[in-house]
Structure 1
Amino acid sequence: MKVCTDSCVLGAYADTGVGGRLLDIGTGTGLLALMAAQRNPTAQIDAVEVDDAAFQQATENVQASPFAEQVRVIHSRIQPFLAEPYDRILSNPPFYSNHLRSPDSAVNRALHNDELPFEELIARVASLLKPEGQFWVLLPPFEMERLTSIAAKTGLRPFRQLNLRHNSRKPVFRTVTAFTFDGLATPTTDELIIFEPDGKTYSAAFRELLQPFYLIF
C-alpha cells in the first residue's frame, strides 16, 4: 500500500504522549508506529497487522529503522488480540462498505471494512484503552460521524478534531478525531489546508506540521 498524505497528517498531529504504551491498529507499512516512535522515543509501541504482505513490509521497515527496539510488529487480527491497556491507540482503519471490490485482495482488506467493522473496532479500542487514554483515528467525514455515534455507546467521546482540505476551495475530505472516556471534555476543532490555491504548493501550515518527517522540507 502507498503511504498516504492524510495518514502522515494523523501521525504528525496525534498526541503520542510521553513514554507509556501505544498501539497502532492496522499498521500497514508501519508508518504510524514509526512516526510515533520518532515523536515519543520512550514509548513502547505495538503495531498490529492482519495482512501477510503488509506485516512482512512493516517488519522490514521497523528493522531498518532506528526504532527497532521500540516497535513490535504483531501479525494478528485485532479482534482476538489481548494485551495490557494502552495510553494511546492510533488507527487509519478501512472504511468502505458495500462498494465495488478490487481484484487485489490486499487492496480490499486495506480499504473495505468487512473484516473490521466499526462496531468491532470500537469494542476493541474500548477494551484496550486505559481509562485516561486517548484514541486517535482518521476517516472521511461521513464515516467519522458513524464511528462517533458507535463510540458514544461505549463512553468514548471526541475531544479534538482536525478537518483536512486539499485546498481552500475544496470540501473536507478527511477528519482526524481524538476520543477519550472523559465525558466532560470540551471538543475543539482545527483545520489544515494541504495545498495553496494552485493545487501544487504545500501550505505553510502543512510544511510546518510535516517538516520533521518529509525529506523534501
Structure 2
Amino acid sequence: MKDIFHFKKFSLKQSSSLLKVGTDAVLLGAYIDCKDAKHILDIGTGTGIIALALAQKSEAIIHALDINSEACKLANENFQNSNWSNRLTIFCQAVQNFETDIKYDIIVSNPPYFSAGNASPNKGKAIAKHDNELKLSDLLLNIKRLLNKNGLAYLIFPALQHDSFIQECENAELFVSKKLFIIPKKGKQANRIIFELSHQFSICENSHLTIENNFRHDYSEEYKELTKDYYLKF
C-alpha cells in the first residue's frame, strides 16, 4: 500500500513495507549546505527524501544508492515526478560494489544503526534499520574511497553511539569537523547527532538544535527556521 507525503516543492510516494518520512532524514537534508556542490552521493536513499531535499537547494548531479529493489523503484518514481529529474539517478546496488570515476563533493547517509539481532520481520524495514547489510566500518571506508579530497560527508547517528562512531571514523582515517547535537524536547538529552566528516583534520565545531519546546508539536523557532523550506506546516 502506498501513500504520499507532501513537502513544499516535492512529494514523496511511500510504502508500508519501507521506512516512512522521519525527522532524521528531513533534518539531515535541511542541515547540509550544498549550494556549491557539483556531485552528491546519497547512500541508502530509501524512497529518495534526502536526495530530493538536496536537489531542491543545489544544481548538483545527485546519485542515490539502495540495495532494496522496492525502495529503488519508489525512489526512481519520486525522482521522475520531481522538478529535478534530469539531475537525479538511482543505482540499485550496494556501495561496496559501486564503481565510478567521480569523486563526490558531498556524501550523505542516514545509515542503519541497530546491530544485527532482533531485526524487523519486514525485510525492507530491517535493511533500513539494521546494519546486517552495511556495517558502519564498511560505510566509512567507502565514503573515504568516494569522497573528493576537499569533500564533506554527513551522517546522522544515535547520540548513545557517539564514542563508537568516533572510533570507527578514526579507523577509517576520516575526521569529524562538525557535530550537531539534536535534542528532541527542551530539557532532554540529545538523542541524535549529525556528524560532518572530511579527509582533513580541523578543530571540531559543536552546536545544538532543540526540536520541541515544552509540549508536543510546540516546535522551536530554530527547528522551524531550519526546516521551513520543506515542511508545509512551517
> Identical aligned pairs, as a percentage?
30
User: What is the CA–CA distance in structure 1 between the aligned matches of 2:171 and 2:118, rounded to whole Å?
Assistant: 30
Residue 159 (structure 1) aligned with residue 190 (structure 2): no
Q: Name 1:88's counterpart in structure 2.
A: 106
The alpha-carbon deviation at position 182 of structure 1 amounts to: 1.2
In the other structure, the counterpart of 2:34 is 16
Q: 2-side partners of 1:116 and 1:187: how far apart?
A: 26
Q: CA deviation at 1:17?
A: 4.2
- The TM-score with structure 2 as length reference comes to 0.89
Worse-matched range after superposition: 137-146 or 116-125 = 137-146
| RMSD between superposed Cα atoms in Å | 1.1
C-alpha distance in 2, partners of 1:142/1:202? 24
Is 2:99 aligned against 1:66?
Answer: no
TM-fit CA distance, 1:16? 1.8
2: CA distance, partners of 1:76 / 1:61: 18
Write the letter of the residue equivalent to 1:204.
E
Contact kept in structure 1, 2:37 and 2:106, CA below 8 Å: no
Offset of residue 200 of structure 1: 2.2
Structure 2 counterpart of 1:35, one-letter code: A
- Of 186, 206, 213, 1:196 maps to 213
Segments of 5+ residues of structure 1 without an aligned counterpart are none
Structure 1 residue 150 displacement after superposition: 1.4
Aligned length: 215
SS for the counterpart of 1:79 is: helix
Partners of 1:28 and 1:127 in 2: CA distance: 22
Q: Are 1:50 and 2:74 matched, yes or no?
A: no
The 2-side partners of 1:153 and 1:100 are apart by 27
Q: Is the 8 A contact 1:166 1:199 kept in 2?
A: no
